[in-house]
Protein backbone atom coordinates (compact mmCIF):
# COMPACT_ATOMS: atom_id res chain seq x y z
CA UNK A 1 0.00 0.00 0.00
CA UNK A 2 1.19 3.47 -0.80
CA UNK A 3 1.70 5.16 2.57
CA UNK A 4 1.41 8.64 1.15
CA UNK A 5 -2.08 8.11 -0.22
CA UNK A 6 -3.16 6.31 2.86
CA UNK A 7 -2.14 9.31 4.98
CA UNK A 8 -3.79 11.75 2.60
CA UNK A 9 -7.13 10.01 2.73
CA UNK A 10 -7.13 10.35 6.50
CA UNK A 11 -6.06 13.99 6.41
CA UNK A 12 -9.51 15.54 6.07
CA UNK A 13 -10.77 13.77 9.14
CA UNK A 14 -7.55 14.64 10.96
CA UNK A 15 -7.86 18.34 10.11
CA UNK A 16 -11.25 18.42 11.81
CA UNK A 17 -9.79 16.79 14.90
CA UNK A 18 -6.87 19.19 15.11
CA UNK A 19 -9.17 22.19 15.38
CA UNK A 20 -10.22 20.93 18.77
CA UNK A 21 -6.72 20.15 19.86
CA UNK A 22 -5.11 23.44 18.87
CA UNK A 23 -6.38 25.93 21.49
CA UNK A 24 -3.70 25.11 24.11
CA UNK A 25 -0.96 25.59 21.49
CA UNK A 26 -2.52 28.88 20.39
CA UNK A 27 -2.71 30.00 23.98
CA UNK A 28 0.99 29.28 24.33
CA UNK A 29 1.74 31.35 21.24
CA UNK A 30 -0.26 34.29 22.47
CA UNK A 31 1.36 34.13 25.82
CA UNK A 32 4.78 34.18 24.21
CA UNK A 33 3.89 37.14 22.00
CA UNK A 34 3.16 39.30 25.02
CA UNK A 35 2.36 42.85 24.17
CA UNK A 36 0.86 41.81 20.85
CA UNK A 37 -2.84 41.82 20.20
CA UNK A 38 -4.94 38.69 20.50
CA UNK A 39 -5.90 38.31 16.86
CA UNK A 40 -3.53 36.15 14.86
CA UNK A 41 -1.14 38.01 12.60
CA UNK A 42 -1.96 41.38 14.11
CA UNK A 43 1.48 41.87 15.65
CA UNK A 44 3.74 44.61 14.37
CA UNK A 45 5.96 43.56 11.47
CA UNK A 46 9.72 43.60 11.98
CA UNK A 47 11.27 45.42 9.04
CA UNK A 48 15.04 45.80 8.62
CA UNK A 49 17.36 46.57 5.76
CA UNK A 50 19.59 43.84 4.31
CA UNK A 51 22.57 45.48 6.00
CA UNK A 52 20.82 45.35 9.37
CA UNK A 53 19.92 41.67 8.89
CA UNK A 54 23.53 40.91 7.95
CA UNK A 55 24.65 42.30 11.30
CA UNK A 56 22.11 40.23 13.26
CA UNK A 57 22.25 36.92 11.39
CA UNK A 58 25.12 34.56 10.62
CA UNK A 59 26.10 34.28 6.94
CA UNK A 60 24.23 30.95 6.68
CA UNK A 61 21.13 32.33 8.39
CA UNK A 62 21.17 35.35 6.10
CA UNK A 63 21.44 33.13 3.02
CA UNK A 64 18.55 30.88 4.10
CA UNK A 65 16.27 33.47 5.69
CA UNK A 66 16.75 36.49 3.46
CA UNK A 67 17.83 34.83 0.18
CA UNK A 68 15.62 31.70 0.34
CA UNK A 69 18.58 29.36 0.64
CA UNK A 70 18.39 25.77 1.89
CA UNK A 71 20.67 24.33 4.54
CA UNK A 72 22.40 21.01 3.82
CA UNK A 73 20.22 18.04 4.83
CA UNK A 74 21.26 16.51 8.13
CA UNK A 75 23.16 19.65 9.12
CA UNK A 76 20.86 21.01 11.83
CA UNK A 77 21.52 20.18 15.50
CA UNK A 78 17.77 20.66 15.99
CA UNK A 79 17.09 17.45 14.04
CA UNK A 80 17.68 15.41 17.17
CA UNK A 81 16.05 17.86 19.56
CA UNK A 82 12.89 16.45 21.11
CA UNK A 83 12.85 18.28 24.43
CA UNK A 84 9.71 20.20 25.41
CA UNK A 85 9.80 23.77 24.24
CA UNK A 86 9.15 26.27 21.50
CA UNK A 87 10.91 26.89 18.22
CA UNK A 88 11.08 30.62 17.60
CA UNK A 89 12.18 32.62 14.56
CA UNK A 90 15.95 33.14 14.58
CA UNK A 91 15.39 36.60 13.16
CA UNK A 92 12.65 38.08 15.36
CA UNK A 93 11.93 35.46 18.10
CA UNK A 94 8.29 34.97 17.09
CA UNK A 95 7.11 31.53 18.33
CA UNK A 96 6.66 29.36 15.25
CA UNK A 97 6.48 25.69 16.24
CA UNK A 98 5.91 23.67 19.39
CA UNK A 99 7.89 20.56 20.29
CA UNK A 100 4.47 18.88 20.52
CA UNK A 101 4.15 18.83 16.73
CA UNK A 102 7.77 17.88 15.89
CA UNK A 103 8.45 14.50 14.31
CA UNK A 104 11.18 12.67 12.46
CA UNK A 105 10.41 12.90 8.75
CA UNK A 106 13.74 11.24 7.78
CA UNK A 107 14.33 14.05 5.30
CA UNK A 108 17.30 15.65 7.07
CA UNK A 109 15.35 18.78 7.98
CA UNK A 110 13.48 19.52 11.24
CA UNK A 111 9.81 18.73 10.56
CA UNK A 112 6.52 19.61 12.19
CA UNK A 113 2.92 18.71 11.39
CA UNK A 114 1.55 22.11 12.40
CA UNK A 115 2.75 25.64 13.16
CA UNK A 116 2.17 26.93 16.70
CA UNK A 117 -0.47 29.26 15.30
CA UNK A 118 -1.69 29.72 11.73
CA UNK A 119 -1.23 33.46 12.11
CA UNK A 120 2.46 33.22 12.95
CA UNK A 121 3.50 31.74 9.63
CA UNK A 122 2.64 32.90 6.16
CA UNK A 123 2.25 30.31 3.41
CA UNK A 124 2.64 31.38 -0.18
CA UNK A 125 2.84 29.52 -3.49
CA UNK A 126 6.27 29.51 -5.08
CA UNK A 127 7.02 28.47 -8.63
CA UNK A 128 10.59 27.47 -9.34
CA UNK A 129 11.79 25.51 -12.36
CA UNK A 130 8.21 24.64 -13.29
CA UNK A 131 7.56 23.15 -9.87
CA UNK A 132 4.99 24.66 -7.55
CA UNK A 133 5.67 24.43 -3.86
CA UNK A 134 4.36 26.30 -0.84
CA UNK A 135 6.88 28.51 0.84
CA UNK A 136 6.61 29.11 4.60
CA UNK A 137 7.77 32.48 5.97
CA UNK A 138 7.76 34.11 9.40
CA UNK A 139 4.72 36.36 9.53
CA UNK A 140 6.54 38.99 11.60
CA UNK A 141 9.88 39.49 9.80
CA UNK A 142 9.12 37.76 6.47
CA UNK A 143 12.10 35.42 6.86
CA UNK A 144 12.10 32.35 4.63
CA UNK A 145 11.76 29.30 6.88
CA UNK A 146 11.17 26.39 4.53
CA UNK A 147 8.24 24.73 2.75
CA UNK A 148 5.07 22.85 3.61
CA UNK A 149 4.09 19.60 1.88
CA UNK A 150 0.99 17.41 2.12
CA UNK A 151 2.76 14.15 2.95
CA UNK A 152 2.96 14.64 6.71
CA UNK A 153 1.53 12.47 9.48
CA UNK A 154 -1.80 12.64 11.28
CA UNK A 155 -3.59 14.63 12.47
CA UNK A 156 -3.00 17.26 9.76
CA UNK A 157 -1.29 15.32 6.99
CA UNK A 158 1.09 18.26 6.63
CA UNK A 159 4.88 18.34 6.72
CA UNK A 160 6.42 21.69 7.60
CA UNK A 161 9.95 21.12 6.33
CA UNK A 162 12.09 23.74 8.07
CA UNK A 163 15.64 24.97 7.84
CA UNK A 164 17.06 24.49 11.33
CA UNK A 165 19.18 27.66 11.06
CA UNK A 166 16.01 29.73 10.75
CA UNK A 167 14.80 28.45 14.13
CA UNK A 168 15.96 28.88 17.69
CA UNK A 169 14.88 26.33 20.28
CA UNK A 170 13.68 27.72 23.60
CA UNK A 171 13.29 24.98 26.24
CA UNK A 172 9.98 25.02 28.16
CA UNK A 173 10.06 27.43 31.08
CA UNK A 174 12.66 29.74 29.56
CA UNK A 175 12.25 33.02 27.74
CA UNK A 176 13.19 33.47 24.08
Interacting residue with Zn ion among 88, 89, 148, 162 (CB under 5 A): 89
- Cβ proximity to Zn ion: between 57 and 79 the closer is 57
85 Rama class: left (phi>0) / alpha (psi -120 to 50) / beta:
left
Q: Does 33 bind Zn ion (CB under 5 A)?
A: no
Q: Does 138 bind Zn ion (CB under 5 A)?
A: yes
CA distance 17 to 156: 9
Q: Does 92 bind Zn ion (CB under 5 A)?
A: yes
- What is residue 145's three-state secondary structure? strand
Q: Does 140 bind Zn ion (CB under 5 A)?
A: yes
CB of 17 to Zn ion, least distance (A): 29
Per CB under 5 A, which region of 15-23, 70-78, 134-142, 167-175 contacts Zn ion? Answer: 134-142
How does DSSP classify residue 57? S
Interacting residue with Zn ion among 18, 29, 32, 91 (CB under 5 A): 91
Between the CA atoms of 61, 88, 109 and 120, what dihedral angle is there, to the nearest 10 degrees? -100
Which residues lie closer than 8 Å to 111 by C-beta, 6 or more apart?
102, 103, 104, 105, 152, 159, 160, 161, 162
Chain positions contacting Zn ion, by CB under 5 A: 89, 91-92, 94, 138, 140-141, 143
Residues annotated as catalytic (active site), given as ranges: 161
Amino acid sequence: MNRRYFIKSGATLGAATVLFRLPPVDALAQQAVKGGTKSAGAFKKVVKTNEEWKRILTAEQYHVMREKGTEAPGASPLLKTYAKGTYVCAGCALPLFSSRTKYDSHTGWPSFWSPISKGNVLERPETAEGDTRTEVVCNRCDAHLGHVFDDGPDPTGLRYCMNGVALKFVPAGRRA
